[in-house]
Amino acid sequence: EPEVTQTPSHQVTQMGQEVILRCVPISNHLYFYWYRQILGQKVEFLVSFYNNEISEKSEIFDDQFSVERPDGSNFTLKIRSTKLEDSAMYFCASSPGGSGRVSYNEQFFGPGTRLTVL
Amino acid sequence: AQSVTQLGSHVSVSEGALVLLRCNYSSSVPPYLFWYVQYPNQGLQLLLKYTSAATLVKGINDFEAEFKKSETSFHLTKPSAHMSDAAEYFCAVSKGFQKLVFGTGTRLLVSP
């Protein structure tokens, strides 16, 4: 069964460093998302991406964040200058899109990348 | 703006007992509603979804949920709890392909 994959599973970085979190969405999916979950808290939306551009972003997604789909298979989240409060689990998700299919708006989640900022 | 409220951060049941996890939503348009489960140190797995078809939705592992527009609720139930059901459960709402808005989650504890 196709699944969303994310690398690395755990990333440790120093405050102020740049990190890139990588995701491989399910093939042929059209919508891509990043969410984060700070330890013990709820899952929060960061950004959605469709047709090679950001379709929606939250107030969390400020100028230090960026997303890219560099090669048609990977979907990356970059944090330019990490802060202590960026420590969280980051989830990538993808959705089939299209019309006429039962599960077209269902979001499939990857296993997450745990980011620890020291 | 859409939102969901999950009543009870923790719910404890005995193995074999009925599971009831509550979710109320707020939406200005007909919503799509979802229940996700998160096992320790794992990602989010879809249990079931409501997308304006049948109001009673059946999901995996014998879970089901009923959409009640008059009560703006989408409570999750399972007739008989199993030890393996112990996990965090999240209710979420969305509009079409837009972001999922999650509730704060309910941790289900199952005792022998």
Question: Are A18 and A78 a contacting pair, CB within 8 Å?
Answer: yes
Selecting from A44, A97, A102 the residue whose C-beta is nearest the C-beta of B97 gives: A97
- The two counts, helices (H) then strands (E), for chain A are 0, 11
Encode pLDDT of B2-23 as tens digits.
Answer: 899 999 999 999 999 999 999 9
Please compute, for residue A70, the number of CA atoms within 13 A of its CA located in the half-sphere on the CB side: 10
Residue A101 has pLDDT above 60, yes or no: no
Residue A102 has pLDDT above 60, yes or no: no
Q: Is A58 on the interface with B (CB under 8 A)?
A: yes
Task: Kindly report the average pLDDT of chain B as a whole number.
Answer: 92
Residue A100 has pLDDT above 70, yes or no: no
Name residues whose C-beta falls within 8 Å of residue B18's C-beta, 6 or more positions apart in sequence.
B77, B78, B79, B80, B81
Encode pLDDT of B38-57 as tens digits.
Answer: 998 788 999 999 887 788 99
Position B42 scores a pLDDT of 82
Position A98 scores a pLDDT of 67
* Pairs across A and B, CB distance < 8 A: 55
Neighbours of A68 (CB within 10 A): 13
Position A64 scores a pLDDT of 95
Position A99 scores a pLDDT of 60
Contact state of A105 with B96 under an 8 Å Cβ cutoff: yes
Q: Is B103 on the interface with A (CB under 8 A)?
A: yes
Nearest CA in chain A to B94: A105
Residue B88 has pLDDT above 70, yes or no: yes
Query: Of B38, B100, B104, which to mutate for an interface test with A (greatest number of A Cβ within 10 Å)?
Result: B100
Encode pLDDT of A41-85 as tens digits.
Answer: 889 999 999 988 999 999 999 999 999 998 878 999 999 999 999
Chain B residues with beta carbon closer than 8 angstroms to that of A108: 46
B97 pLDDT tier (thresholds 50, 70, 90) = confident
